[in-house]
Homo-oligomer: A and B are copies of this chain.
């Protein structure tokens, strides 16, 4: 069994508190400059650079140079999802401060999970798609039905294009706050992108949290027949 090797090497990436902090912060799917990540993890830029280099070497993160900044992000959606899964075992975070509980409430409500929407909103949307027969669950796969093809096209998604991407097309991703599944994969990403384009959601600064706009509430009621407050 050389599963051992894989398992422990994956785990050791996250076992260091500084790296965990960095990865958790990168879980918002955005690009972050090295300095910010150092600040988040509470370490000096040198140390952060050391960790980032290490993670870049194993392919966990990728770099993009822009001027004198270097922006890092998580390389693969699957890695991000693994960390999300770990979170669901870290248990419901014991709330310490009011500020934390407030932040937590926002995260539960709607947040980014790397490149797609997560939290209550995402779970409700996924439920709706299944209920209306646009998606069909098959294990961890989510198949788009005939009615789904029409629905998504009508929604402004180019499904053939999304299918072409070199990644899973449509799959379940475990939501660690809701303990249910939400749509991930290229479809989840495309859907999320489209909803942002329609200004249904707006990202918060420096956080994975996502705010729902008035248009969003209205749109979700009309399109998905769900009501979020």
Contacts and interface: CB of A to CB of B under 8 A. Distances in A.
A86 B79 CA distance: 11
Interface stretch (A2-10, A46-54, A153-161, A217-225): A2-10
Interface stretch (A12-20, A66-74, A185-193, A194-202): A12-20
- How many copies, total? 2
A220 B124 CA distance: 36
Interface of A: 1-8, 10-17, 19-21, 24, 78-79, 82-83, 85-87, 89-91, 93-94, 96, 100, 103, 123, 137, 139-140, 174, 178-181
Given A4-B17, A10-B89, A11-B12, 20 more contacts: A1-B93, A1-B100, A2-B94, A6-B91, A7-B14, A7-B20, A7-B83, A8-B14, A8-B17, A8-B20, A11-B15, A11-B86, A12-B15, A14-B15, A78-B89, A86-B86, A139-B178, A140-B174, A140-B180, A140-B181
